Amino acid sequence: MSDWGNVSIDVDSLSSIYKGQGCSNAGGYTYLEYRMGLENLLEFFSKYQIRTTMFMVGNDFLYKENHSSIRDIANNGHEIANHSMTHPQGFRWLSQNEKEKELSSMSDICHEVTGKRPIGFRSPGWNIDDSTLPILEKLNYKYDSSVFPTSLMPIMKFAHWSSMSKQKKQDRTTMGQFSYMFSPIKPYYVSDRSLGKSGNKNLIEFPISVSPYLRIPFFATLLLFSGVKFYKKLYRSLRSAGLPIHFQMHLSDFIDYSIPELVDQMPRSKQGTYVPQSLNTPLSKKIELFSEMIEMIGRDYEFITLDQWTEKFRGTN
């Protein structure tokens, strides 16, 4: 299992994240952002013959203009997983009925467009709690990938809360229960009562990769902040510990936000609205960093999708 790796991508557009709040094109939707991101994703990963898992938002399936891009993803062997219907940042504060509707609505429209239902889920902003476990079981999900077991969780929670001061209270929260800081850092069957603890349930948790001991996040956002030199050291610590790799990215990592057609989609101000690093980094620089990282990981790991990993995990555990 230690030689398996996965790239998972949260395919959430600015329209999904901000829902018009803090953007100059309030309430607007741009097909260009979505299509550009998916086309660049396909081109990038085709070069390395890698199939990814893409956590997609159901609202993006409502636009027929997106259907060809979505089907291209599925036809090229990438897995489509569930990232909710409307991308509520405060997912864990929803009622049980609202949570179930978020999952089932996305599943229904995904089946309508692609002919296939997702078997995996990731909560927006990894903002999940244990009460979601019975819903995932009821809807026959095979895995979840919402637990982010990093020691930096308190800092990341505070930074997000502070930087989203213009948003509603629920939208300012992120990353789920504090107890997930101490969750296992490699895939595990969840317990009867908690997504953050190992046990004998049939549901598998695929946590976001963090380094051993210090539990520093190993994902694209921090790579853009810290640079590849630091990340090479971080990667070596994961490899030395025999850990599998689950490298998480976002749609925005593959979009050039400097083009005029997308400028209106940018948040009006950095004041009180979180602006992802991927929006401020040129696309050429992002591709350069990601190429170096993916090539390094690919020398040691076999990349598979999370649905494939699920089958392998069940076969060895």
**Statement: residue 316 has pLDDT above 90:** no
How far is residue 92's CA from residue 176's CA, in Å, rounded to a whole number? Answer: 7
> What's the pLDDT score for residue 163?
77
Among 9-23, 92-106, 149-163, name the one with the lowest average pLDDT: 9-23
How far is residue 313's CA from residue 128's CA, in Å, rounded to a whole number? Answer: 23
Q: Do residues 93 and 170 make contact, with C-beta atoms less than 8 angstroms apart?
A: yes
pTM above 0.85, yes or no: yes
Strand, helix or coil at 230? Answer: helix
- For 240-260, how does the pLDDT look when each residue is reduced to its tens digit (9 = 90+)? 999 999 999 999 999 998 887
Considering the domain 4-316 in this protein, what is its CATH number? 3.20.20.370
Mean residue pLDDT across the chain:
90
> What's the pLDDT score for residue 23?
41
- For 285-299, how does the pLDDT look when each residue is reduced to its tens digit (9 = 90+)? 999 999 999 999 999
> What's the pLDDT score for residue 164?
78
Query: Torsion over CA of 91, 92, 98 and 103, rounded to 10 degrees?
Result: 60
The candidate with the shortest Cα–Cα distance to 22, out of 85, 89, 83, is: 89
**Statement: residue 311 has pLDDT above 90:** yes
**Statement: residue 1 has pLDDT above 80:** no
How far is residue 249's CA from residue 236's CA, in Å, rounded to a whole number? Answer: 20
Q: Which pLDDT band, with edges at 50, 70 and 90, does 21 fall under? A: very low
How do the domains of the chain map onto residue ranges?
4-316
> What's the pLDDT score for residue 271?
47
Helix/strand/coil percentages in the chain, nearest 5: 50, 10, 40
DSSP string, 200-215: S-S-EE-PPPB-TTT-
The candidate with the shortest Cα–Cα distance to 303, out of 248, 234, 246, is: 246
**Statement: residue 270 has pLDDT above 80:** no
Sign of CA dihedral 291, 297, 302, 304: negative
